[in-house]
Amino acid sequence: MKKSMGWLGVLAALSVSSAVAETQEIRALFQPDPSQPNKNVFVNQTPNSGYCASFPTQCASFNMFSIQVPIRFNGARSFVPGDAIPIKVPANWRQLTVTNRETQETETLEVRITGIGSQYELSETAQKLTGAASALEGHQKLWTTNSWVYAPAPCLYSGVGAYSESNYRFFWRTPVEDACTKVAAFNIPSIRLNTLDFAYELRTPNPLGMSSGLYTGSLHYSVGTGMDFDTGPMFYADDPHLNLNFVLDVQHTLKVDLPPGGNKVSLEPAGGWQQWIDGGRKPTSIYRDQLFYISASSRFKVMMQCRDSLGGDRCRMFGAGGNVTDVRTRLTLPAGLTQNGGGPVHQMLLLHNSWAGPFQPGQYLERKEGMLRFEIPSDAINSLLRPGVSGTMSTQITIIWDSEV
């Protein structure tokens, strides 16, 4: 088995007239879980920031992850009653290609934005702007549809809002790619959104069909009026670019174990040699079935190598006095491992110095039983078992298992 691992540091900079692009890495990991062999999914490894870092219980209830980036939206002018803030995000699935940095294999990753939030900051306290008796009442009266914890349709409530006299932190879920609009009910001399918080969802490829290693790719979003992240004409973003760099880390398992003593195999007829010794009854088969245990989460291939080769499917065995015979090797894999055509692998004849496979698991297999059969072909039995011929013959056969397909 060959195994390679690497680590990736990503740094991207895009020169623009007023700012550099904000860049965020999103990382997900696949490692097989013996306790959940059917769970063939990536696990998000990206630390939460922003809303989900502050309110993890709320996000867990929606299976939501969030990121906060320091993009600020400044008000273009003062607000008057009736001015609207339509907020829209790229909530539809978008595709990007991720590439294995070593093998150059590619897969398709899908991403969508499932939530949006920020903290608005007023130039005056909400009480002063509305004449309310408290900060909470002021933030509620400042907008035509109550405070910003209440998401305007088609956005959905996320659970928590936080406020002070002149600030209000909000977060809305975004099930569709359409504007969610808040409308001012009072004059607001100045307002800005201090950060960009967003939640995201990944639709990852099937890791069982991927090679081990790091798959990387990037997705660019535009930020500003009429852009991917759109806060309408009443705001302008201080950075119009957001780059998301994705890293899918695939760490497969391929392990083959033999029981104690399994590296030495003795071939004999069914029932042993006694019938041949006592009565000269020639056996119809001479073989040994050798059990092995395999753990596998990815496709792999298998090769047989003979120390003494005839080529093809036969290895040579030699003994004292010039005795010689041939041996074949057959492979049987446990249920759940299939060959190229999708069928089971049963008594597959292995060839010297030639790869068999690839073999593909349908789910993670943990220490399942397989079998290697070493057998003397029937024509070799006839030439081997002759009067006066005795002794021990031996050879060495190597089986190579390789996850780099």
Residue 208 sits at φ, ψ, to 5 deg, of -65, -20
Do 33 and 119 fall into the same domain? yes
pLDDT tens across 214-253, in order? 999 999 999 999 999 999 999 999 999 999 999 999 999 9
pLDDT tens by residue, 379-390: 888 777 766 666
Contact 101, 6 (CB under 8 A): yes
Domain boundary (211, 234, 250) is at 250
Residue 222 belongs to a domain: yes
Is residue 370 one of the residues assigned to a domain? yes
Please indicate, yes or no, whether residues 215 and 295 belong to a single structural domain of this protein.
no
Q: Is 17 part of a structural domain of the chain? A: no
Output the CA torsion 296→300→306→310 (10° steps). Answer: 140
Residue where a domain stops, chosen among 250, 278, 296: 250
Helix boundaries (H) for 170-305 = 274-279
126: helix, coil or strand? helix
Q: Which two tokens stand for residue 398?
A: 């190597």
C-alpha distances in angstroms, 172 versus 138, 159, 222, 239, 280?
20, 9, 20, 22, 86
Asked if residue 274 and residue 163 are part of one domain, the reply reads no
Q: How high does pLDDT run on average in the chain?
A: 89
Same domain, 33 and 62: yes
* Domain assignment of residue 6, yes or no: no
Is 142 or 12 the better-scoring residue by pLDDT? 142
**Structural domain contains residue 157:** yes
For the record, the structure tokens of 330 come out as 């057959």
Amino acid identity at 221: Y
Q: Which of the residue ranges 74-78, 385-389, 390-394 has the most confident prediction, judged by mean pLDDT?
A: 74-78
> CA-to-CA distance for 206 and 241, rounded, in angstroms?
30
Q: Domain containing 321 — which CATH number?
A: 2.60.40
Structure confidence at residue 5 (pLDDT): 28
382 in a structural domain = yes
* Pair (276, 161) in one structural domain: no
Angle at 293 between CA 318 and CA 262, to 5 degrees: 30
Specify if 134 maps to a domain: yes
Find the domain containing 35 and state its range: 22-250
pLDDT exceeds cutoff 50 at 254:
yes
C-alpha–C-alpha distance, residues 118 and 180, integer Å: 14
Does residue 299 share a domain with residue 178? no
Total count of domains within the chain: 2
Same domain, 203 and 330: no
Residue of 316 and 310 predicted with greater confidence: 316
CA distance 359 to 342: 9
Question: Does pLDDT of 301 surpass 90?
Answer: yes
Q: Tell me, yes or no, whether 36 and 105 share the same domain.
A: yes
**219 with 150, same domain?**
yes
Residue 120 within any structural domain of the chain:
yes
- Shared-domain flag, residues 239 and 325: no
Residues 105 and 163 in one domain: yes
Same domain flag for 229 and 324: no
What local confidence, expressed as pLDDT, does residue 7 receive?
Answer: 28
Alpha-carbon distance values, 218 to 25, 43, 99, 135 (Å): 9, 19, 10, 42
pLDDT at 147 > cutoff 70: yes
Residue 61 sits at φ, ψ, to 5 deg, of -65, -25
* 319-373 pLDDT per residue, tens: 776 778 889 999 999 999 999 878 899 999 999 999 999 999 988 998 999 999 9
Considering 218, 235, 250, which residue would you say is the last residue of a domain? 250
